[in-house]
Structure 1
């Protein structure tokens, strides 16, 4: 699986789920289970690369405004949600996190923890195996794709007083 195929899966399941994260999770697992084991592992690798690409102080600031708080877990889950919104939204948010203002205001839930497990679940469906070291998450981790503090957050840190000027559209929607 390459980047184009990854985003095609995300975009197609996002569109088919019509805003339901539960439905998107189910559709992704079903779609991935139709691919080869190597493709499922590639999906996990790409997913983790995008999680790391979104490790940015601007994305943290957006989450702080949208949810009112940030923790390590909530930050990870919000990046999952960002990926689930599709290629165009993802890359636009990386360029300009303030672009999330309208979308986040209509979504309600901007956490999507279950996206962390879709490759492993698809792998289990396809193989009938219980999770072990051969599962996509473990393979990607062994290859250095660890999203739990393994990289340095990009861009410049901010203070809460800077948020209204940093992301004015988000600030006006959520404050």
Structure 2
């Protein structure tokens, strides 16, 4: 599966439904109809694109949306959620994190208290990271496929290593800096005095 085929599958998944669980079920079913090697390659492409989004500026965008703080895991899940937005929104956000302000999924959160966001509102999609492994397990007809799946993924990956985020870290709670680097997201998601 090349990168174009990966994004085509993501886009088709987006057209199915807005409900994340239903999208995952569709994607799992679609992947389980493909050869094991293609399922592994889906995960490799997913890892590649989320690595591309591993930047300090996007982390700051996530922190802004989340109210001033985002954990390591939360940022990983945010990157997976960005993939779920589709190629156009994803690539624009990687080039300019403030472009997330244009995403309907972000716009629907504005002026709503975070405590009222439901699970499908939160800009995180951890489950996307497991769908290929689940499809692999269905096709391989084994209960515990973790070792075989992750060994196959590792064998297909270029040795990227686990470097830190790209770019320069900055504090999203600095209103002057946030207004310069993320002007629209800063206006959409003002931080209260108690932001961590």
Q: Which has the larger radius of gyration?
A: 2
In structure 1, which of residues 123, 134, 150 is the aligned counterpart of residue 136 of structure 2? Answer: 123
Note the 1:73-112 alignment, pairs <5 A.
73-103=73-103, 104-106=106-108, 108-112=121-125
User: Structure 2: any 5+ residue segments left out of the alignment?
Assistant: 110-120, 191-196
The 5 Å alignment of 1:26-175 reads 26-68=25-67, 69-103=69-103, 104-106=106-108, 108-130=121-143, 131-135=145-149, 137-141=150-154, 150-159=162-171, 160-161=173-174, 162-175=177-190
Q: How many residues are paired up?
A: 172
Backbone CA RMSD of aligned residues: 1.9
> What are the ranges of 5 or more consecutive residues in structure 1 without an aligned counterpart?
none
Question: What's the offset of the Cα at 1:24?
Answer: 1.5
TM-score calculated relative to the size of structure 1: 0.90
Q: Does the aligned pair in 2 maintain the 1:7–1:86 contact within 8 Å?
A: yes
TM-score, normalized by length of structure 2? Answer: 0.81
- Give the distance between the partners of 2:62 and 2:137, measured in 1 at CA: 32
Structure that is richer in helix per residue: 1
Q: 1:154 deviation in Å?
A: 0.9
